[in-house]
Structure 1
Amino acid sequence: MASATDDKTIVRDYFNAQGFDRWSRIYGDGQVNKVQRDIREGHQQTVDHVLYWFKQDDNAEGLTVCDAGCGVGSLSIPLATMGAKVSASDISEKMVEEASFRAKELLPPEAAPTFDAQDLETLDGRYHTVICLDVLIHYPQDKAGDMIAHLSSLAEERLILSFAPKNPFYTLLKRIGEFFPGPSKATRAYLHSEAEVRKALKANGWEVNRKEFTASQFYFSRLLEAVKVSA
């Protein structure tokens, strides 16, 4: 198996090249094919679930939020619009540039998220809420626990993660997909056992408070919200 460092380099290079053109369209509102539209709608459902949780709690205003793996700002920008103080990052410089451009179109400078090109391992600071959507798919199972531990060290009250769940059906689906390689599938995709993710959260002092699941033809994602365990 390739190392996480190799995966990280592959992901960075991909999303700064042909992957940027593909995924910026998927996460935007331009013309896409049937598969890309399905992924766009699935990802947006995951984003909408997170935004709904904030609205349920009625407490986005003034909260410090870290959006780790922000892409083109699909979550960061709406959260900033709701009044959160968002620090957003992505491993891809081109994604960060696009996110910054989109934010400038929609928000005044003082309300816009701060965007930085960083990988997850280099993030620091302390935030009320740390969010990491659809990023763990780039990390093998043996590294996912380390990443959850690192993200936990940044979060004071809440940690929100999404990942592609590992079960017999999705494992088979992934294997079938590997028979049809193409230029848009240049990164490895790792599925994760929900039990292992929950175990890692518990080991770092979290308990799952809310969860959602999004599944379509080409997109599937388990979303977990974890909160600090009371002493």
Structure 2
Amino acid sequence: MANQALNKNSTKKSPKDKDIVRDYFNSTGFDRWRRIYGEGGDVNRVQLDIRTGHQQTVDYVLGWFKNDKNAVGHTICDAGCGTGSLSIPLAEMGAKVYASDISEKMVGEGKSRATDPENPVFEVKDLASLSGEYDTVICLDVLIHYPDQDSEAMIAHLASLAKSRLILSFAPKNPYYVLMKKVGDMVPGPSKATRAYLHKESDVRRVLEGLGFKIKRKEFTATSFYFSRLLEAVRN
């Protein structure tokens, strides 16, 4: 089993990495991603492209809930909720949503956008600190901040919170996207994330299967500057 091979302390991201991500999304990163996750026109071409891609991934998840007609009363943990682009519409569909993010500014923005002060419930927390039990745990576009070893441990931790389903998205690792990342890393920019990690889909599937999950549905989003594999894993 994949989770049996994980050190019991490996679900904790190193303080240095965690602090880097937290500081980024509470400073230059917050302004950049608040605009990307928003609806205003104050974005450049790249940011608009990423907004389009991220929203497509969000829409896939919302579409799954709509097709299954099981949102009402469903308990959901949106791990790494950002400004609430998924949490808020899920709550409006009738789900009971707990939304967390490592960034205090992101959580504050999510609260300000929500129409119901009690649903979603927003809280500042990193992934490793999450606890509880939910029908579905969702983690979109967050694993890009975790290297392979940490991401596998984090998937195992998130799976332990999910009673029936785990939904993940990640930037897939293949020769083409590795090259794109290298090119992107060469372009300077004060608001770029400090680190970005790609993950092999086969590795993510291996971890999920080792944890007793099987893939039910999947989607892929690719725009000029955004690429993301979305997997829905359900317990066997």
What band does the TM-score fall into relative to the shorter chain? over 0.9
- The alignment partner of 1:213 has SS state of strand
Count of paired positions? 223
| 1:90 match | 101
Counterpart mapping for 1:11-160 below 5 A: 11-30=21-40, 31-103=42-114, 106-107=115-116, 109-110=117-118, 112-160=119-167
TM-score by length of 2: 0.93
| 2:168 match | 161
Aligned-partner Cα distance in 1 for 2:132–2:234: 18
CA-CA distance at 1:181 after TM superposition = 2.3
Residue pair 1:210, 1:225 contacting (<8 A) in 2 also: yes
Aligned-partner Cα distance in 2 for 1:8–1:225: 26
Aligned-partner Cα distance in 1 for 2:51–2:14: 26
Aligned-partner Cα distance in 2 for 1:73–1:177: 27
Aligned-partner Cα distance in 2 for 1:57–1:148: 24
| 1:192 match | 199
Give unmatched runs, 5+ long, in structure 1.
Answer: none
- The alignment partner of 1:129 has SS state of strand
CA-CA distance at 1:127 after TM superposition = 0.1
Change (3 A) 1:73 1:223: same
CA-CA distance at 1:56 after TM superposition = 0.8
CA-CA distance at 1:5 after TM superposition = 3.0
TM-score by length of 1: 0.95
| 1:209 match | 216
CA-CA distance at 1:157 after TM superposition = 0.4
- The alignment partner of 1:115 has SS state of strand
- The alignment partner of 1:217 has SS state of coil
- The alignment partner of 2:39 has SS state of coil
Structure 2 counterpart of 1:29, one-letter code: E
CA-CA distance at 1:180 after TM superposition = 1.0
Q: Quick check: 1:173 aligned with 2:184?
A: no
Aligned-partner Cα distance in 2 for 1:212–1:153: 23
Aligned-partner Cα distance in 2 for 1:11–1:187: 8
CA-CA distance at 1:206 after TM superposition = 0.4
Aligned-partner Cα distance in 2 for 1:148–1:13: 23
- The alignment partner of 1:156 has SS state of strand
Structure 2 counterpart of 1:37, one-letter code: L
Give unmatched runs, 5+ long, in structure 2.
Answer: 1-12
Residue pair 1:4, 1:139 contacting (<8 A) in 2 also: no
- The alignment partner of 2:30 has SS state of helix
Aligned-partner Cα distance in 1 for 2:228–2:53: 8
Structure 2 counterpart of 1:226, one-letter code: A
Task: Give the share of equivalent positions with the same residue, in percent.
Answer: 68
